[in-house]
Structure 1
Amino acid sequence: MGLNPFKKREPKDKRPLFTEKDRANISWFWHGYLKQKTPWLFLVLGMVMIQGLVYQQFLRLTEDGLRVIFDSGQKTELIKVCIIVFGLFAVRGLMSYLVPRLSVWLASDAVLKLRRDLIQHLMTLDLAYFERTNSGEIILRMVNQAQDLSDFVGQQTVNAVRDAATVIIVSGYLIYKSPILFSTAVIVLPAIFFIMQSVSDRIKTVQRSAENALGNYMTGIEEMSNGMRTVKISGQEENEKHRLRKATVEIKSLSIRLQAAQALVAPSIDLSSAFVYVLVIGGGGYLALDPESGLDGAGIIAFLLGIVLVFDPARLLAQFFTRLQANLIILDSVYSLFEQKPSVTDSPDASDEFDPQADITLNNVAFHYSPSAPLFHDLDMTIAGGKRTAIVGATGSGKTTVLSLLTRLYNVEKGEIRIGGKPINSLKVKSLRSAFSVVAQDIVIFNSSIWENIRYVRPEATDEQIWAAAEAAEIAELIRARGDAPLGPKGSQLSGGQKQRIAIARALLRGAPILLLDEATSALDQKTEEKIQKSLGIVSEGKTTIIVAHRLSSVVGADWIYVMDAGTIVEQGTHADLMAQQGLYAGMFQAQKKSYGDD
């Protein structure tokens, strides 16, 4: 059942305009991104005060002008008043130009710093965060919500400050002119506050749902775009249309409900204003008829004009507070990303020093992705330095997870992994990972040239080094043929073999002492695999090489092979040893060999 923004709530469900979390989020944003701009903010505040003073002086001069018309009838005095009024509004016009220019610059600069911090923090988060978080949610925070905050802080908040200054300054003048009449006029303020209080909680509820719906919609678009090959081949265009249209209908519904909640404010204030105008006209007229009241016709007209000048910005100010509730949800959503803390971090005494060519050992390692389904329990494994070690097994047996643990994409839950006798959690993460090169089945290809895709892993590499890597990976001719032409989203203009050669060229250019081959040829046909294996042989020469494979033909030449099943090592040895055992490995190898023969 959907959330109803108009559902009657019990008094115990009422929330304050600003919760403790709201105040904490505002304090974080202020101290982190605005406080250092305090001098500029005071300048903006000063210009805003000038705008409010213009209205106050306008009222005074209007009253004087009316008296000139009604009493003295001196044209020169009237002209003088008109010139001064024009000059005042020229000043206000200048302030109206400078204030948004300066405030937008301040807000944009603050949000630029916010985005930089978001990017910086995002890069520190563990792989697990990205695996459990929809990409649409991340994009929503980094792009839409950050921009929404910029617009709110730079335009809406400054306008609200201007409106508040106008209300305060003009109200002060009206109190000075007639405290009794002004007290009568502000009798509706408690009603306005009650309206804001009742609407704010509804707005927050609907806004939170709207942000979630928008995030899911963006994720759906990305999934559709990434899976378009499957969508087209399987003829599921209609299903994708239905799925995305359903999401857009939900967003539309939530937007309407949000607007409906916000729309309660303006008519309520307008009705309240009408009530006030009646009181002022009636009460003011009565006072004007009383010679002892000190108010004449010109004063009453100016007072009524002042009430108009107060209530219009007051109405906008009340609407600002309703929009503020929605932006507090956005602010909380952005800040929630900073609340995500990485679990894979450097220990206080972490070291850079270790021997990357030494043996790698896993001792009594335990790990799980889900507490209800542990993957490893007391896993022991030794990977000889400078040798080729293979890990094979069925899908889900834990092969790739071993590589993730070696590179500290995840931390082990029990046991220890060592390189050359040094626990990897005593090493700096950056230094540890710099010892690894990866050639995987799922290759990240950017929409730029092949040259730039290769250089990605080592931006400081020389042209000669990049050409050497490309030649060794047999991709140099394609670079010459394509030049600087982009490769399309995710390398859509390349074949699987060409993508693998880019990955191999990257590994060659990186030149790390430990090479991870994660299903590097599983997506290739047998003929292409044979060509790629030759290049892989060049890459792995003299390095500690760990081969994770489902296709056993790629591990025949390994120095040692571990066979895994459901997170446990069930067999180990050379290819000849394992074939002689006539166990799981031998059965898998014979089945695959027969399959290749049938092909």
Structure 2
Amino acid sequence: MIKLFSSGKEPKTQRRPLFTAQDKANISWFSKTYLKEKVPWLGAVMVMILAQGFAYQQFVSLTEDGLRVIFDKGEVTGLIGVCAMVMAIFSVRAILSYAVPRISVWLASDAVYKMRRDLIDHIMILDLAYFEKTKSGELILRLVNQAQDLSEFIGQTTVNAIRDAVTLIIVSGYLMWKSPILFMSVIIVLPIVAVVVRRISHRIKEVQTSAENAMGNYMSGIEEMSNGMRTVKISNQEPFERQRLKTATLDIKSLTIRLQAVQALMSPTLDILAAIIYILIIGLGGYMALSNDFNMDGASIIAFMIGMALIFDPARRLSFFFVRLQANLIVLESLRGLYNELPTITNAPDAKAEFDPSGDIKLTDVRFRYANDHPLFDELNMTFEGGKVTAIVGATGSGKTTILSLIARLYDVSAGTVTIGHEPVNKLRIDKLRQSFSVVAQDIVIFNNSIWENIRYVRPDASDEQIWRAAELVGIDALIRERGDAPLGPKGSQLSGGQKQRIAIARAFLRSAPILILDEATSALDQRTEEKVRQAIGELSEDKTTILVAHRLSTVTHADKIYVLDEGRVVEEGTHAELMANKKLYASMFSAQRSSYGQ
């Protein structure tokens, strides 16, 4: 059973405010950032909401007049006039009921659109490390589900709550003016509503936080399963994935039931309170109508009861609004929390836009570690001569790809320097630095678009002739003609590994930056295709500083210099011939691979 009310041993829980300091800060941030410029429109919405509230008050007043026309005067013309006025009032309210949500949804959608836009801009400047430690399902949950939930809450739920609050205030004020004694007698139960709402709201916050986390884990699980379906099928792990996702859905189910159980307590409580209110009106109001000491009659009592009915439903909805508010405060905190993630890779105050990308690239006494207790590089020294081809080889985990990340400043070194043309990379503007690279990486990003558009991705302004030239150089032009504009499926699922790599290499041709980075660029190609691509890469790398990372050593024999890494240390360096003559690690690796290929 869900515990809502404390037993007296939890005084701190009872004293918790409805809005924490963080809640107030989040609301203030959203209002000042995304709603401040909409103040005139918000003012117009408020005027229309006030008009709706006065329409209800006039309805109660006209109802009382109409009843007196029927009971006292018996005038048909007067009754017709009252009915006409009621129709006019509700026509105005109907028009406003159409206009208010249309305007408010537009305001909220625009505000949330701008927030999404800003969040996207912020996410784009975050470090690679953030994306490596954050589940993609969590980002999807925030930018898609939570942002949309917030938009609907602000544009519909909140505006409806303001309308209900205005109706409650205006009609209550009128009823109090008509009969202060009767009104004060029936609203004595309203503080109970406030207590119930407060108790339930705190519990909803706790459950909602758990529910959001469970949903994020579930979405991440689906994405991981979808991306790894090939491995799942080959290894016959469908039962494991099925159970993993079922467990996640069970968590969501349990939290949803718990959340609903808390929310469900509101309705019966309010129903009991409504019954008490109507009993008080009938009993006390009837007594006042029968007594000569009060200026009340049957028309007044019926009108009063109608008025209470008109304010009780808004009061009920308003109480549910505060329940939903707690859930959306969690959403707002989650969205704003993205701004707490700050990039560490940023431009220096005196960052330079001009440098010589054709100069030597040097790593001098570089220290780097992914984790404090696991250093990868300790005083690493390497030189990649400008205009030449330098290869990096070594076992998996020796740090080959990390060196490329340090050169492109995806990470900053712990100590030492990385320079290009004698300029430290951390003193260069990040955009200018990375524009100097053409990269063919292991993790090839293929979009669900045509091959043509996938190649053009790196240079949207490229001409058709330039794109065809890049495609022809890697031998993928025939496939472009065959497939046309057909999309490639999610993450290029309709392509082979070799076809994906050729698209990546074609991108490098199209970009044609002064520094070429090839990270396992031909690992998915057969030998005949590899030879063709190697010729193309040879043409591409002319007069460029080329850094080649490869596991297959046959692809680096032409390099001007080869570095051999072992556990983050350079253990050998030289040309292919020199390293083979040394008969050390490189020679043994090359011989082992040649034997495995049957050469």
TM-score bin (small chain): over 0.9
Matched residues in 1 for 2:321 and 2:495: separation?
52
Deviations 1:475-496 (A, max 9, x none): 2222122211111221122222
Partner of 1:67: 68
Deviation at 1:236, TM superposition (A): 2.0
Structure 2: stretches of 5+ with no match in the other structure: none
Deviations 1:164-196 (A, max 9, x none): 000000010011011111111111122111111
What amino acid is aligned across from residue 213 of structure 1 in structure 2?
A
In structure 2, relative to structure 1, the CA distance for the partners of 1:4 and 1:423 (3 Å cut) is farther
The answer to whether the Cα contact below 8 Å between 1:441 and 1:523 also exists between their aligned partners in 2 is: no
Identity %: 65
Partner of 2:506: 505
The answer on 1:77 being equivalent to 2:78 is: yes
Partner of 2:591: 590
Partner of 2:217: 216
Instruction: Describe the SS at the equivalent of 1:592.
Output: helix
* Greater displacement, 10-19 / 181-190: 10-19
Partner of 1:161: 162
Instruction: Describe the SS at the equivalent of 2:57.
Output: helix
Deviation at 1:4, TM superposition (A): 5.4
Matched residues in 1 for 2:181 and 2:414: separation?
73
Instruction: Describe the SS at the equivalent of 1:155.
Output: helix
Matched residues in 2 for 1:253 and 1:316: separation?
26
Partner of 1:413: 414
Partner of 1:30: 31
Deviation at 1:290, TM superposition (A): 2.2
The answer to whether the Cα contact below 8 Å between 2:501 and 2:524 also exists between their aligned partners in 1 is: no
The answer to whether the Cα contact below 8 Å between 1:376 and 1:568 also exists between their aligned partners in 2 is: yes
Q: Aligned-residue CA RMSD in angstroms?
A: 1.5
What amino acid is aligned across from residue 472 of structure 1 in structure 2?
L
Matched residues in 2 for 1:5 and 1:368: separation?
47
What amino acid is aligned across from residue 505 of structure 1 in structure 2?
A
What amino acid is aligned across from residue 470 of structure 1 in structure 2?
A
Deviations 1:17-45 (A, max 9, x none): 11111111111111111111111111111
Deviations 1:69-89 (A, max 9, x none): 111111111111111111111
In structure 2, relative to structure 1, the CA distance for the partners of 1:462 and 1:592 (3 Å cut) is same
What amino acid is aligned across from residue 165 of structure 1 in structure 2?
V
In structure 2, relative to structure 1, the CA distance for the partners of 1:420 and 1:148 (3 Å cut) is same
Instruction: Describe the SS at the equivalent of 2:516.
Output: strand
Instruction: Describe the SS at the equivalent of 2:343.
Output: coil
* Greater displacement, 143-152 / 294-303: 294-303
The answer on 1:117 being equivalent to 2:143 is: no
What amino acid is aligned across from residue 255 of structure 1 in structure 2?
T
Equivalences for 1:236-315 in 2 at 5 Å?
A: 236-315=237-316
The answer to whether the Cα contact below 8 Å between 2:5 and 2:199 also exists between their aligned partners in 1 is: no
Partner of 1:569: 570
Deviation at 1:137, TM superposition (A): 0.4
Equivalences for 1:42-441 in 2 at 5 Å?
A: 42-441=43-442
Matched residues in 1 for 2:560 and 2:380: separation?
20
Deviations 1:86-111 (A, max 9, x none): 11111111111111111111111111
Instruction: Describe the SS at the equivalent of 1:176.
Output: helix
Partner of 2:12: 12
The answer to whether the Cα contact below 8 Å between 1:6 and 1:202 also exists between their aligned partners in 2 is: yes
Matched residues in 2 for 1:219 and 1:179: separation?
58
In structure 2, relative to structure 1, the CA distance for the partners of 1:83 and 1:7 (3 Å cut) is closer
What amino acid is aligned across from residue 13 of structure 2 in structure 1?
D
Matched residues in 1 for 2:591 and 2:411: separation?
35
Instruction: Describe the SS at the equivalent of 1:578.
Output: helix
Matched residues in 1 for 2:189 and 2:354: separation?
73
The answer to whether the Cα contact below 8 Å between 1:472 and 1:538 also exists between their aligned partners in 2 is: no
What amino acid is aligned across from residue 507 of structure 1 in structure 2?
A
Deviation at 1:5, TM superposition (A): 6.0
Instruction: Describe the SS at the equivalent of 1:597.
Output: coil
Instruction: Describe the SS at the equivalent of 1:345.
Output: coil
The answer to whether the Cα contact below 8 Å between 2:476 and 2:499 also exists between their aligned partners in 1 is: yes
The answer to whether the Cα contact below 8 Å between 2:2 and 2:262 also exists between their aligned partners in 1 is: no
* Greater displacement, 5-14 / 526-535: 5-14
* Greater displacement, 589-598 / 333-342: 589-598
Matched residues in 2 for 1:295 and 1:42: separation?
38
Deviation at 1:7, TM superposition (A): 8.3
* Greater displacement, 277-286 / 216-225: 277-286
What amino acid is aligned across from residue 101 of structure 2 in structure 1?
P
Matched residues in 2 for 1:519 and 1:226: separation?
21
Instruction: Describe the SS at the equivalent of 2:521.
Output: coil
The answer to whether the Cα contact below 8 Å between 2:345 and 2:410 also exists between their aligned partners in 1 is: yes
In structure 2, relative to structure 1, the CA distance for the partners of 1:5 and 1:532 (3 Å cut) is farther
Matched residues in 2 for 1:522 and 1:73: separation?
97
Deviation at 1:472, TM superposition (A): 1.8
Matched residues in 2 for 1:155 and 1:351: separation?
49
Instruction: Describe the SS at the equivalent of 2:518.
Output: strand
Instruction: Describe the SS at the equivalent of 2:370.
Output: strand
Matched residues in 1 for 2:541 and 2:497: separation?
21
Deviation at 1:67, TM superposition (A): 1.1
What amino acid is aligned across from residue 163 of structure 1 in structure 2?
D
The answer to whether the Cα contact below 8 Å between 2:398 and 2:565 also exists between their aligned partners in 1 is: yes
The answer to whether the Cα contact below 8 Å between 2:367 and 2:413 also exists between their aligned partners in 1 is: yes
TM-score by length of 2: 0.97
What amino acid is aligned across from residue 564 of structure 1 in structure 2?
L
Deviation at 1:462, TM superposition (A): 1.1
Matched residues in 2 for 1:540 and 1:474: separation?
17
Instruction: Describe the SS at the equivalent of 2:471.
Output: helix
* Greater displacement, 148-157 / 533-542: 533-542
Matched residues in 2 for 1:24 and 1:527: separation?
63
Instruction: Describe the SS at the equivalent of 1:485.
Output: coil
* Greater displacement, 370-379 / 314-323: 370-379
Instruction: Describe the SS at the equivalent of 1:221.
Output: helix
Matched residues in 2 for 1:583 and 1:309: separation?
90
Partner of 2:468: 467
* Greater displacement, 166-175 / 93-102: 93-102
TM-score by length of 1: 0.97
Deviation at 1:508, TM superposition (A): 0.8
Equivalences for 1:491-530 in 2 at 5 Å?
A: 491-530=492-531
The answer to whether the Cα contact below 8 Å between 1:436 and 1:513 also exists between their aligned partners in 2 is: yes
Deviation at 1:535, TM superposition (A): 2.1
In structure 2, relative to structure 1, the CA distance for the partners of 1:252 and 1:43 (3 Å cut) is same
Matched residues in 1 for 2:593 and 2:529: separation?
17
* Greater displacement, 403-412 / 483-492: 483-492
Deviations 1:504-538 (A, max 9, x none): 11111101000001011223344433332222212
What amino acid is aligned across from residue 334 of structure 2 in structure 1?
S
Matched residues in 2 for 1:421 and 1:48: separation?
66
